[in-house]
Amino acid sequence: MWIWITGTVVVIIVIVLSSSIKIRLTLIREDKDDEISFDARFLFGLLRKRIAIPSIQFNNLIDGVKLESEYIDANEKQLISAKEEQITTKTIKESFDNALSLFKGCFRLHEWLVDTISHVRCTQFRWRTQVGIGDAPETALATGMIWGLKSTMLGFLTRFIKLDVRPEIQVLPRYNESKFSTDVLVVLQIRMVHIAIAGCQLLYRIVKVKGGLRTWRRVLFKS
């Protein structure tokens, strides 16, 4: 019996480590309407979760940005929970301070981040934009600027993430129209074995710093 139990556990561990997490990021902006969604698939698609942000409302510099997010079980296609968040200059400063504390509480965290991201593969990348200023020369100028911005961002991305496909990038000028729309589709994939190794390495780097574990616990669990 113990041989069968041990064999079953080993098989499960091998299956889990040989699987990968696939994350699909979709961003759509049409005039003043925004929609962002994160889809995560695990264990060869048996487990799926989805986070959707159907509403992004910018109020002002003081009140900040209001986000409405939904957590969805993609397998059951049911809404798990929904909440509203207010992002202000105060919350941004708190997030920055927390990130700084995490960096100080881990031995060379940036090296760990770069090494971990190097195992991420991009299996699909599509970015399409339509722009129109209302005037043909200004539209042409805006089109060139967007092309330059996309090329720069893509070059920065490829420094850290492996591209398995040729990126699809389009900028479509809409002359004599006032229009702006963009949709981005990015699919990222990383194997669970790399996540497990990265987790062990991160824990070692945290413990290596005096008080690092206490700092990470305080920041992550607000204790």
| Cα→Cα distances 35→56, 69, 171, Å | 8, 10, 20
pLDDT, position 62: 56
**Which region holds residue 69: left if phi is over 0, alpha if psi is between -120 and 50, else beta?**
beta
Rg (CA), the chain: 22
User: Angle, nearest 10°, between helix axes 212-221 and 89-104?
Assistant: 160
Q: 90: which residues sit within 8 A by CB, 6+ positions away?
A: none
Alpha carbons 35 and 127: distance in angstroms, whole number: 15
Q: 133: which residues sit within 8 A by CB, 6+ positions away?
A: 139, 142, 178
Alpha carbons 143 and 173: distance in angstroms, whole number: 6
Alpha carbons 34 and 69: distance in angstroms, whole number: 12
pLDDT, position 22: 85
pLDDT, position 56: 63
The one-digit pLDDT tens for each residue of the chain (223 residues) are: 667 777 777 777 777 777 788 888 888 777 666 777 878 887 766 677 777 776 666 655 556 666 666 666 656 566 666 677 777 778 888 888 888 998 898 888 989 998 999 888 898 899 888 888 877 888 888 888 888 988 888 888 888 888 888 888 888 888 877 888 888 888 889 888 888 899 999 999 999 888 888 998 888 887 5
pLDDT, position 68: 67
Alpha carbons 81 and 3: distance in angstroms, whole number: 42
Whether the model clears a pTM of 0.75, i.e. scores above it, the answer is no
